[in-house]
Amino acid sequence: MNATPEDDSAASHRSAPYGDSGDGATRAAGTPSAASIRLDGVRKQYPDGTVAVNKLSLSVPAGELVVLIGPSGCGKSTVLRMINRLIEPSAGRILLDDEDVTETDPVQLRRRIGYVIQNVGLFPHQTVQANVGTVPRLLGWSRSRIRSRSDELLDLVGLDPSRFGRRYPHELSGGQRQRVGVARALAADPVVLLMDEPFSAVDPIARARLQEEFLRLQEEVRKTIVLVTHDLDEAVRLGDRIAILSQGGRLEQYDSPATLLGEPASSFVREFVGADRGIRRLAVTPITRDLLNPLPTTPLPGSLPRVALGSSLYDALATLLTTNADETWVTEGSEPVGLLSRHRILSIDYPADPVG
C-alpha cells in the first residue's frame, strides 16, 4: 500500500539558526535543516524466511512529525532502523530528499540522523555535557564549539547547563536523562530525527510533561521526525500524521490524527483505534468560531469557566465537567468571542461506523 501526504506544506519548516552539516563545515544560510523521507517498496526478510516488512511505501515531508504505530511485531521499529541502516533493507529504496541511503556510507549517514531510544543509551562514564557533544566530537569540532553547542542544547531542552552539564547520567532522573538523549540527538543539527519509544520508560506524569516540552522543542527546531510508539494517545498528541501498520509492515492507513480517528480506512484500523476513538477525536478537534453561540445581550454569571479559542474540544469538555458548568466562555486573548455549550460538543456530527 502506498501513501503520499496530500499537502507537503502542512509542516513548512524554517532553517535552524545553528548547526553543522555532516562534514563538520558550518551549514550555509538557507540550507534546509530537515529532509524529506521516502520509502519505496521497502522489504525486510530475515535469513529464516521471516518477513518483517513487505513492500512498504511511505512519504514523510520535511519538517513533519510522523508516528509509526501498530501491534507488537508489526515491523515499526524495523522500519525505523532501516532508515539509518542499523538494519539493512532486503529490497526497495529509502531516500533522504533525493539521496538513496542504501548507497551512502552508513557511518556518515548516521552522523546526519539523530537517534533517540527508549533507554536513552547515555555513556555512564561521561558527563552530561560530554554525552551531548558525542557526534560533534566525532565530526572534529573544536572543544570550545562543542561546549557552546552542548550548553545551547541543554538550555533548549530545559536543563540548566551550569547545573546539569557536569553531572553523570546516574545523577539524573529518568525524565532528565531522556532530555539529555534528545539534546545529544540534535547536537550536530541532523536533517532527520528517529525516536523509538522515547517516553515509554518514564512515569505517566513525567511522560505527559516530556511530550509537552517535545512539542515546544519541535516548534523551535522543526526537524523531520519519525517516532515509534505503542501508545495511541501519544501518537494522536504528537503526530502531524500517523501510520498504522499491521503484521508484516503492511500500511493500513496514513493520515492526520483527526482523519484517522474520524474516518478509519478498514476494520483493522477501526478496531485498533478502539471504541473510544470519539473521545480521542475531541483531543484533535480545535474550538472554532462556527461552534460558538454568540455573545449574550444580557449579563451571564461571572463564574462561567473560560477556554481559549483554538484549544481542543477535549479540553473544553474537561473544563465543563470539572466545573459542573453547561457553558464556557471562549476567549481570544483576554476577550470573550462566544459561548460553547456541553451539548454542542457532544452533538458534533461525526461519520458513523458501519453496522455489522
What is the percent of the chain where pLDDT is above 70?
Answer: 87
- The answer to whether residue 77 scores a pLDDT higher than 90 is yes
CB 165 within 8 A of CB 153: no
Judged on CB neighbours under 10 Å (0-12, 13-18, 19+), 243 is buried
Q: Is the pLDDT of residue 257 over 80?
A: yes
Q: What is the CATH number of domain 285-346?
A: 3.90.1280.20
Residue 320 has pLDDT above 70, yes or no: yes
Helix axes 204-221, 143-156, angle to 10 degrees: 120
Q: Assign 344 to helix, strand or coil.
A: helix
List the single range of 6-20, 257-271, 314-328 with lowest mean pLDDT.
6-20
Class of domain 8-112+188-273: alpha beta
CA–CA gap between residue 139 and residue 218 (Å, rounded): 24
* Average pLDDT of span 283-291: 88
Q: Quick one: pLDDT at residue 31?
A: 52
Q: Does residue 123 carry a pLDDT above 50?
A: yes
pLDDT (mean) for 109-119: 84
The number of beta carbons lying within 10 Å of the beta carbon of residue 162 is 10
**So what's the pLDDT on residue 12?**
36
Delimiting residues of CATH 3.90.1280.20 domain(s) in the chain: 285-346
Return mean pLDDT, the chain: 84
* Strand 327-332, strand 241-246: pairing: unpaired
pLDDT, residue 4, reads 53
Q: Are 328 and 305 within 8 A, CB to CB?
A: yes
Residue the block writes with cell 500500511: 251
Residue 93 neighbours by CB under 8 Å, 6+ apart: 38, 39, 40, 41, 42, 100, 102
The residue with cell 498528541 is 237
116 close to 194: Cβ distance less than 8 angstroms: yes
**Which residues of the chain does CATH 3.40.50.300 include?**
8-112+188-273
Which of 264, 267, 266, 262 has the alpha carbon at shortest distance from 349? 262
Of the segments 9-23, 24-38, 71-85, 110-124, which one has the largest average pLDDT value?
A: 71-85
Helix or strand holding residue 143 (H, E): helix 143-156
Q: Would you place residue 30 in the very low, low, confident or very high pLDDT band (cuts 50, 70, 90)?
A: very low
The 10s digit of each residue's pLDDT in 174-226 is 888 888 988 888 888 888 999 998 887 677 777 788 888 888 888 888 899 99
Reported as a pLDDT band with limits 50, 70 and 90, residue 56 is very high
